[in-house]
Amino acid sequence: MGDQRRSSGPGAAWKHGSWMLLTVQYTTFVLLVHYSRMMPPTGGKRYLTSTAVFFNEVVKLAISLTLALYEVSKSAPPSVPATSLLSTLAANIFSGDSWKLAIPAALYTMANSLQYIALSNLPAATFQTSYQLKIVVSSVFGFILLQRSVPLRKWGLILLLVAGVAIVNLPVTNSDELSLDGAATHMDFPRSLEEWKSAKLQGQGLHKRSATYEGIEEDILTATPSMDRIVGILATLGSCAASGISGVYFEKVIRDSAKSTSLWVRNVQIAVYSIFPALFIGVVFLDGEKIANGGVFDGYNWVVWATVVVQALGGIAAPFFAGPGFADARNVASATTIILTSLGSVWLFDFEPTLTYLLGTFAVLVATYLCELPSSDPKLRPPPIRVGRYEKESKSDQPSPASSSPKEISIKLPTTPFLSDAGISTSRPTSPGVTRSGASRSSSGGYF
């Protein structure tokens, strides 16, 4: 009865309801990112993904820092000044093993950047199905870094998952799509009078563009972005690898840490270490020239900001659902997200599921739902108790200590000058020369 009451508490309810929160976050993020990359750009300019990743870390840092400061203030007296609270929080953030989180933080930033690239070149449904390869990466590196055993059943499910993703990403040979892609690829701006006349005779409408051919090509790609399946698949694989490794490494840091640290402080640590690669590598090094010409917020609208906020909330929630205890919730959420993303892609983006997509998605759904990490973690279960070693052998002549057999073993203790026969009846030692009543021994001097 006690276990039943314990399992029905708020912790169990939070654990059972976590898959719904994860499902909402996964589905909303994937659909928003793909829509923000496919929708008509604001002001003729499309936003830079490096700035979106950077602002995601800024929002995550602001929320985590506020809640971590509130958590510290609850355990402090009301008279403590704000400067002392900030210094205490800073000491918790940059002390101990916080430097170890620089590795998963950099991997998280890489995974977030690659997700934007993948969703710019793949349909949302295809990306969501292919992204389940993160389970394969988590299982392999969990086996390497955490010594987590992987049973044969799970290896079979991993092979089924890989096969399903491969079927989903099989190229579709559609003559209409190939002809449209070829026309878009070979459409050049007329650079001579003869080409201009030929273009007018063929009925190719021209729009006002910039003076250079490079500018025209960039405007065309901005207005009607084309998707490169190979680039999308490679970006998805890279994002799965970076996200899977970072999750396992973060779990290893938490398990090996000698000091118990709040998850809000851990979120602040990850956000702090993630801002540096997002700012200096993404914003400054890769897109510094474009930002200098157009500005940081060029191409931003409410969809882009909603994408940033949803991604930040997912990054904040990730540490709370890390570990094998929430593996079943993550698997159920991933399987549900595949279904909802496919339906959302059909409704929002006119996605047409093919037979190969449906077959591969079904295999991925089965493998994702059945891949349960808790059953493969040996540290979650106590060692088995061998009852046989405690049972007496049937042919043994030695009786049990609780037996009333006449062959009982008599234990005799050596006598001392201060230990009389009468002083054994209570837990208090007897005094010399004082006789206590109620104590008795056997005739042989033993207690039994």
Could you report the per-residue pLDDT of 383-427, keeping only the tens digit for each? Answer: 444 444 444 444 444 544 444 444 544 444 455 444 444 444 444
Q: Which of 99-108, 269-278, 398-407 has the lowest mean pLDDT?
A: 398-407
Q: How many of the other CB atoms lie within 10 Å of CB of 431?
A: 11
Rounded distance between C-alpha atoms, residue 98 and residue 92, angstroms? 9
Tokens of 245: 């490794």
The DSSP bridge partners found for residue 45 are 42
Size of the chain in residues: 448
| pLDDT value, residue 29 | 95
Rounded distance between C-alpha atoms, residue 229 and residue 370, angstroms? 29
| pLDDT value, residue 338 | 94
Across the range 58-86, mean pLDDT stands at: 87
Contact 412, 406 (CB under 8 A): no
Q: Which of 207, 208, 213 is nearest to 188 (CA)?
A: 213
| pLDDT value, residue 403 | 45
| pLDDT value, residue 432 | 53
Residue appearing with tokens 């929430």: 326
> Residues of the chain with pLDDT > 70: what percent?
67
pLDDT at 143 over 70: yes
| pLDDT value, residue 198 | 54
Rounded distance between C-alpha atoms, residue 185 and residue 188, angstroms? 8
Rounded distance between C-alpha atoms, residue 227 and residue 76, angstroms? 54
Contact 44, 355 (CB under 8 A): no
| pLDDT value, residue 222 | 54
The DSSP bridge partners found for residue 42 are 45
Burial degree of 194 (CB within 10 A; 0-12, 13-18, 19+): exposed
Give the DSSP per-residue string, 3-56: HHHHHTSHHHHHHHHHHHHHHHHHHHHHHHHHHHHHSPPBTTBPPPHHHHHHHH
Contact 69, 89 (CB under 8 A): yes
pLDDT at 337 over 90: yes
Give the DSSP per-residue string, 376-427: G-GGGSPPPP-GGGGSPPTT--PPPTT---TTPPPP-PPP-TT--GGGGSSS
| pLDDT value, residue 79 | 79
Kind and range of the H or E run holding 362: helix 355-370
| pLDDT value, residue 224 | 60
Across the range 232-243, mean pLDDT stands at: 95
pLDDT at 304 over 90: yes
| pLDDT value, residue 339 | 94
Highest mean pLDDT out of 216-220, 251-255, 362-366: 362-366
Rounded distance between C-alpha atoms, residue 327 and residue 403, angstroms? 49
| pLDDT value, residue 275 | 94
pLDDT at 243 over 80: yes
Q: Which of 278-292, 305-319, 412-426 has the lowest mean pLDDT?
A: 412-426
What's the half-sphere exposure (Cβ side, CA atoms, 13 Å) at 400?
A: 8
Rounded distance between C-alpha atoms, residue 100 and residue 94, angstroms? 11
pLDDT at 187 over 60: no
Sequence-ordered list of residues with C-beta below 8 angstroms from that of 257, at least 6 positions apart, any chain: 96, 97
Contact 107, 274 (CB under 8 A): no
Q: What are phi and psi of 404, to 5 degrees?
A: -100, 30
Q: Which of 63-72, 222-231, 312-321 has the lowest mean pLDDT?
A: 222-231
pLDDT at 434 over 80: no
> Residues of the chain with pLDDT > 90: what percent?
40
Report residue 294's pLDDT band, with 50, 70 and 90 as the boundaries.
Answer: confident
First to last CA, the chain: 40
Q: Which of 219, 174, 175, 202 is nearest to 354 (CA)?
A: 174
Report residue 74's pLDDT band, with 50, 70 and 90 as the boundaries.
Answer: confident
pLDDT at 253 over 60: yes
Across the range 259-276, mean pLDDT stands at: 89
Rounded distance between C-alpha atoms, residue 306 and residue 30, angstroms? 12
| pLDDT value, residue 425 | 47
pLDDT at 27 over 60: yes
Report residue 76's pLDDT band, with 50, 70 and 90 as the boundaries.
Answer: confident
Across the range 7-29, mean pLDDT stands at: 72
Rounded distance between C-alpha atoms, residue 211 and residue 206, angstroms? 13
Contact 360, 133 (CB under 8 A): no
Contact 54, 279 (CB under 8 A): yes
| pLDDT value, residue 14 | 59
Higher pLDDT, 167 or 322: 167
Residue appearing with tokens 């449906």: 358
Report residue 360's pLDDT band, with 50, 70 and 90 as the boundaries.
Answer: very high
Strand spans (E) along 198-324: none
